[in-house]
Amino acid sequence: MKKVEKHSVYMGRLSHGADLLEELNRLCGESNIQCGRVEAIGAVQRACLGYYDQSRREYKFNTIDAPLEILKLSGNVSIKDGTPMVHVHITLADENGRAFGGHLGPGTIIFACECIIESFEGPAFQRIHDEQTGLPLWGI
Ligand code: ZN
């Protein structure tokens, strides 16, 4: 573990119709947030959820083409290939309250979203290829 200091907290509403993952990456890039924590609630028009197949070492993406509530979006910001990268997981619910979740993929379209991003100061967390998992993990 590395110690980081809380620096700034950003709070805002994300744009209706925008791609949720692209919007989070854009906001972190614009505000130069290189290390931080992301959380949000709201609703999406459709979702693309990833599941990492540990034996195949690849993501499988499932699209849910329906309006869903964002029960919880939670994740972090670190550096990959020299630029800020948002990594978030999301739990969603349908009209009957059934929940779905996974790694947030591109293609998840915002209906409404209230987001809080905490920016930290401290050592850079660089994502590098991890041999054991096949994932780009923090090189600590
Ligand atoms: Zn993930």
Q: Is residue 112 part of a domain?
A: yes
* pLDDT, tens only, 117-138: 999 998 889 999 999 999 999 9
CA of 90 to the centre of ligand 1 (A): 9
Asked whether 86 and 79 are in contact (CB, 8 A), the reply is no
Q: Is residue 68 part of a domain?
A: yes
CA of 9 to the centre of ligand 1 (A): 23
Virtual torsion, Cα 14, 27, 44, 6, nearest 10 deg: -90
CA of 100 to the centre of ligand 1 (A): 14
Q: Is residue 40 part of a domain?
A: yes
Q: Is residue 2 part of a domain?
A: no
- Does this model's pTM top 0.85? My answer is yes
Question: Among residues 91, 137, 114, which one has the least CA distance to residue 42?
Answer: 114
Residue type, 18: A
* % pLDDT > 90, the chain: 94
The stretch 48-76 carries a mean pLDDT of 98
Give the CATH number for residue 72: 3.30.1330.80
CA of 89 to the centre of ligand 1 (A): 6
Q: Is residue 128 part of a domain?
A: no
* pLDDT, tens only, 10-52: 999 999 999 999 999 999 999 999 999 999 999 999 999 999 9
Q: Is residue 3 part of a domain?
A: no
Asked whether 41 and 110 are in contact (CB, 8 A), the reply is no
For the chain, what is the domain count? 1
Domain that holds residue 49: 9-122
Q: How sure is the predictor about 2, in pLDDT bands with cuts at 50, 70 and 90?
A: confident
Q: Is residue 48 part of a domain?
A: yes
Q: Is residue 137 part of a domain?
A: no
As a whole number of angstroms, the distance between CA 26 and CA 65 comes to: 24
pLDDT of residue 70: 98
